[in-house]
Amino acid sequence: MGVCKTGGTNFRVILKSIEMFKRKSYLELVLILFVVYFTADTESCNQNGKLLESHPTIVSNVIPSYFMNLFKPGTKAEMKLISSYEHIGKDTVCNFMYEGKYYLQVYRLSERFIESLNGSLNENHAKSELEVGVPFYDNQASLINIRDKMIVSKKDNPIKIFVSLNGVDCTANMKNDSVADYNLIIKNLSIKYSPNGPQEIQAEPGDYADQRTPLELMFIKNNASLYLLFLSPKNGISLPPKTLYYLIR
């Protein structure tokens, strides 16, 4: 009997020791994972910081003539430049105020685009969040925060375009060979050049935007270049459908 009691006690001690080892191993594993995550996150921040240093944003007053050639002559008098941004390896980004109540952003996505927008543009309405690990430039000249990918190369020239328009009352006003125009109450949007590729553009309402922020988004092909235009109002101002469309030549 005494032997049995001792054996049972030893067995319980062994089980307790194993449980303590498991608990200790679990805590060590959690600690190791935390250190790895923190180190990777810190390294990512350091890399992004170095990229920002080597790819700075230069604020200028440059308005490329090919931007202004997109608009009707009567429109130009009502367009006031807010700012334009210059980035290494990328085209100028221009921010305008139109008629004192609409924000207008103009991007050139490609200098050589020979595809038909009707065939190359693929839309869906899925939610999109800013991708982690891809450095972006921020454009906060309007109530919508627009982010465009910092590092580009020749292989980033679009052939197919995949756009996620997540929002309310999304309407395609026009879609043909050279123009694709949309109105929506934006929640977020994302533009990619392949279904599983990185985001080229990501946008969503900023902190000071109304809960329902109208947006008109346009892709336009002009002189073999592809442009992307955003039109959004100040808070409290409506945005009639095709407002941007009627400004274009």
Burial class (CB in 10 A: 0-12, 13-18, 19+), 4: exposed
My answer on whether 177 and 201 are in the same domain is yes
CB 78 within 8 A of CB 68: no
Query: Per-residue pLDDT for 178 more than 60?
Result: yes
Q: Which of 15, 33, 54 is the last residue of a domain?
A: 54
My answer on whether 134 and 66 are in the same domain is yes
My answer on whether 102 and 45 are in the same domain is no
pLDDT at 126 (0 to 100): 96
List pLDDT tens digits, range 60-76: 889 999 999 999 999 99
My answer on whether 1 and 115 are in the same domain is no
My answer on whether 69 and 89 are in the same domain is yes
- Give the contacts of 78 (CB within 8 A, at least 6 positions apart): 98, 99
pLDDT at 81 (0 to 100): 97
Number of domains in the chain: 2
Gap between the Cα atoms of 74 and 47, Å rounded: 46
My answer on whether 36 and 86 are in the same domain is no
Lowest mean pLDDT among 1-5, 21-25, 144-148: 1-5
Q: Which of 38, 54, 70 is the last residue of a domain?
A: 54
Query: Per-residue pLDDT for 197 more than 50?
Result: yes
Residue ranges making up the domain that contains 44: 1-54
pTM assigned to the model: 0.80
My answer on whether 234 and 152 are in the same domain is yes
My answer on whether 69 and 136 are in the same domain is yes
List pLDDT tens digits, range 203-213: 999 999 998 99
Lowest mean pLDDT among 120-134, 140-154, 205-219: 140-154
My answer on whether 241 and 204 are in the same domain is yes
My answer on whether 104 and 131 are in the same domain is yes
Query: Per-residue pLDDT for 182 more than 70?
Result: yes
My answer on whether 78 and 32 are in the same domain is no
My answer on whether 96 and 110 are in the same domain is yes
pLDDT at 37 (0 to 100): 46
Q: What share of the chain is helix, strand, coil (3-state, %, to 5)?
A: 30, 40, 35
